[in-house]
A and B are shown apart, each in its own frame.
Chain A
Amino acid sequence: MGMIRSIETVTAQRVIAGKTISVSVVQRKQTPNKLSIAFNAVLGLLKGMWLTLTYFWSPEKVVTRMYPENRDTLQLTERFRGNLRFKFPNETAHKSHAALLEHITHETQTLPEVASEWIRDEDPTRWYHNCTGCSKCEEACPNASIRILTRQGEILEDREIDRFVWRLDSCMFCNACVLACPWDAIEMTGGFENAVYDRRLLVYCLNKLAGPRINLIQDEQDAAVRARMIDPRERFGGPIPMNGAGLPNLPPVALPAPPDVSTGAA
């Protein structure tokens, strides 16, 4: 039994692998006699107890964060890598959209990313996107969580995005798809509350419209032609197995019903 009274490091030069490097050597000093060992031992114990007692008396040092009560004040950082999401450049340009979103978020206690998709807006311009269906993200994905389905465009006679299928269940949020995207069409958002009761709901379609890029649509002057360029796409649905739509021997998935809200409500 011997108490290490003090721990000191001594700087020295040592040679290793042909190089001289400066090292600090951890040294220990033995306490000379039993009396001072006992004294230092008790002192050390008391110092430790004093440290914990200072924490006991200071409630301001509590680091606990009360989730989910702190949802209102929860600030995720701008770069936080949560759910993958399409960027919709026209989305915020819509009048009363922000107010409605705030209203729904407050009423239903949902994150804005989710609530935003509930807003039933007859105007499809809101869902115009940047995606061209180039599949760079699909190539970049390390574990094949993205599947790009393209279709032959009716008006522009070019390949265009039909469905952007993202498998949340196998995604590891490495951000490779976002970095790989040459068109800035997708982003990682702060949504992280992804719990569902059926894992088929973890595979879904990110785009709201099948069709060409936003600028190609907006270049077209004729509204009737613009309407023919695009087709609506559901969040769940499509030919991909496990894509929420159901499998032959499985009961259909009960999709969560969004609250009945429209732009007129706000």
Chain B
Amino acid sequence: MNTALINMAMQTTLAAIEPRTIAQRAAESAHENLWITAGYFLAAIVGVALLLSFLGMALIYIERKVAAAFQCRIGPNRVGPWGLLQTVADTLKLVFKEDFVPQMADRTLHMIAPFLALLVPVVLLALIPYSPALQVADLNIGILFITAIGGFGVMGILIAGWSSNNKWSMIGAMRAGAQIISYELSATLALLVVVLFSGTMSLTGIVQSQEDGWWIWRGHAAGLCAFIIYLVASTAELNRTPFDIPEGESELTAGFHTEYSGLRFAFFFLAEFINMFTVSALTATLFLGGWMPFHIGDWTSFNSAMDAIPPSIWFLGKVTAIIFVIMWFRWTFPRLRVDQLMHLEWKVLLPIGFANLFIAAIIVLANAYPYPVAGQ
């Protein structure tokens, strides 16, 4: 994680001249010099690509170390100091492996599917406000965009399962389709609660609306409830234990990516981990105040001490905490069955989500926050 952290801090310091997104800067510079615009675009692409590779490597390493700690093991410790280069070695191995396509597979779709799966989290990565000055693009319909693009993620999995021409892959893909689309509903309902509270769909706007307190506790029980629903629903969308039925190792061998090898398998693997980061980042942004420091009422000295920590560190800390919780779920719980999964969504989470949205609306109408909201 150190490397990613340093990278993030460097980018923060470079871009912390003015709190504007890279897209805004690019748009402004378009009036003066198109080369600068192109430079901004290049910087954004390179930044996201760097972030992607760092995140992939770091998260896989962290996952393995965390799993080892839960299981009384040491984890990777052979390649490099503390096994830090293990992920690099694994990636190299995957790069040089045969890219195997089954004979009866739909070749084109089989080739495309991993890229589709990776596309979604990468696009979402561009929307996340990492710090006041570091964000690739801030859309005024941010939440809508996230929901729309997030729902697209299932395409890669479905195509992968279908094109492999393998019964296990097919079952896995069908399970994934049913699961992701179902849990999309609960996740969206939980997002709507935050939209109600903050009155904006822009992610930066949502972060700024939490200046007086994070929505998880400022929104009374509704905020907390929405947070839990979102965490559960997005764990399900990530296909991670206890909701890993599309991959379900002991049932479907590897589910939708059974027939993938080499770099294409690596893409699915990377997509899973980037997705995990994206979901954690969104959770942090929406419920835990994004890069906002932790403030307590009028404790000015405490608040200023909190302010001294850079916003990107705050953001990273929150994301790390949520990632840890998701990993903790994975290394503790067994897996649900398909119909239990559907039961949990349609009969438990969805009614609670609707009720929660209703309560949130009442709170917003009554303006019954513990602290007054500035400008509302």
Chain B 320-350 interface mask (CB, 8 Å, partner A; 1/0): 0000000011011100000000010000000
Chain A nearest Cβ from B169, distance in angstroms: 31
Q: Give every chain A residue within 8 A of B70 (Cβ-Cβ).
A: 52, 55-56
Q: Are the CB atoms of B74 and A64 closer together than 8 Å? A: yes
Q: How far is the CA of A165 from the CA of B342 in the complex (A)?
A: 65
Q: In this complex, what residue of B is CB-closest to A60?
A: B72
Q: Are the CB atoms of A55 and B71 closer together than 8 Å? A: yes
Q: A1-B343, A52-B331, A53-B328 are in contact. Are A63 and B73 (CB under 8 A)?
A: yes
A62 within 8 A of B: yes
Q: In this complex, what residue of A is CB-closest to B324?
A: A56
A48 within 8 A of B: yes
Q: How far is the CA of A49 from the CA of B332 in the complex (A)?
A: 6
A45 within 8 A of B: yes
Q: Give every chain B residue within 8 A of A56 (Cβ-Cβ).
A: 66, 69-70, 328
Q: Give every chain A residue within 8 A of B66 (Cβ-Cβ).
A: 56
Q: 10 A-B Cβ contacts within 8 A?
A: A45-B333, A52-B70, A52-B332, A55-B69, A55-B70, A55-B71, A56-B70, A63-B73, A64-B73, A64-B74
Q: Give every chain B residue within 8 A of A45 (Cβ-Cβ).
A: 332-333
Q: Give every chain B residue within 8 A of A64 (Cβ-Cβ).
A: 72-74
A95 within 8 A of B: no
Chain A 56-79 interface mask (CB, 8 Å, partner B; 1/0): 100101111010000000000000
Q: Are the CB atoms of A48 and B71 closer together than 8 Å? A: no
Q: How far is the CA of A91 from the CA of B74 in the complex (A)?
A: 42
Q: In this complex, what residue of B is CB-closest to A38?
A: B348
Chain A nearest Cβ from B127, distance in angstroms: 31
Q: A1-B343, A45-B333 are in contact. Are A52 and B74 (CB under 8 A)?
A: no
Q: Give every chain A residue within 8 A of B74 (Cβ-Cβ).
A: 62, 64, 66
Q: In this complex, what residue of B is CB-closest to A47?
A: B332
Chain A nearest Cβ from B242, distance in angstroms: 9
Q: How far is the CA of A158 from the CA of B343 in the complex (A)?
A: 84
Q: How far is the CA of A48 from the CA of B334 in the complex (A)?
A: 11
Q: How far is the CA of A63 from the CA of B72 in the complex (A)?
A: 6
Q: Give every chain A residue within 8 A of B333 (Cβ-Cβ).
A: 45, 48
Question: Looking at chain A's contact residues, is the secondary structure mostly helix, strand, loop, or mixed?
Answer: helix
Chain B nearest Cβ from A237, distance in angstroms: 39
Q: Give every chain B residue within 8 A of A63 (Cβ-Cβ).
A: 72-73
Q: How far is the CA of A59 from the CA of B332 in the complex (A)?
A: 18
Chain B 43-86 interface mask (CB, 8 Å, partner A; 1/0): 00000000000000000000000100111111000000000000
Q: Give every chain B residue within 8 A of A66 (Cβ-Cβ).
A: 74
Q: Are the CB atoms of A55 and B343 closer together than 8 Å? A: no
Chain B nearest Cβ from A67, distance in angstroms: 12
Q: Which residue from B69, B72, B328, B343 sits with its C-beta under 8 Å from A49?
A: B328
Q: Give every chain B residue within 8 A of A48 (Cβ-Cβ).
A: 332-333
Q: How far is the CA of A64 from the CA of B74 in the complex (A)?
A: 7
Q: Give every chain A residue within 8 A of B72 (Cβ-Cβ).
A: 55, 61-64
Closest 10 CB pairs of A and B: A64-B74, A52-B332, A56-B69, A52-B70, A63-B72, A48-B332, A49-B332, A61-B72, A64-B73, A62-B72
Chain A nearest Cβ from B229, distance in angstroms: 14
Q: How far is the CA of A155 from the CA of B230 in the complex (A)?
A: 91
Q: Give every chain A residue within 8 A of B329 (Cβ-Cβ).
A: 49
Chain B nearest Cβ from A174, distance in angstroms: 32
Q: How far is the CA of A51 from the CA of B73 in the complex (A)?
A: 15
Q: Are the CB atoms of B332 and A62 closer together than 8 Å? A: no
Q: In this complex, what residue of A is CB-closest to B344?
A: A1
- Max count, chain A CB within 10 A of own CB: residue among B66, B73, B332, B343: B332
Q: How far is the CA of A56 from the CA of B62 in the complex (A)?
A: 13
Q: How far is the CA of A45 from the CA of B73 in the complex (A)?
A: 23
Chain B nearest Cβ from A1, distance in angstroms: 7
Interface residues of A in 4-58 (CB under 8 A from B): 45, 48-49, 51-53, 55-56
Q: Give every chain A residue within 8 A of B332 (Cβ-Cβ).
A: 45, 48-49, 51-52
- Interface contacts beyond A48-B333, A49-B332, A52-B331: sample of 20 additional A-B pairs, CB < 8 Å, sorted by A: A1-B343, A45-B332, A45-B333, A48-B332, A49-B329, A52-B70, A52-B328, A55-B69, A55-B70, A55-B71, A55-B72, A56-B70, A56-B328, A59-B69, A61-B72, A62-B73, A62-B74, A64-B72, A64-B73, A66-B74
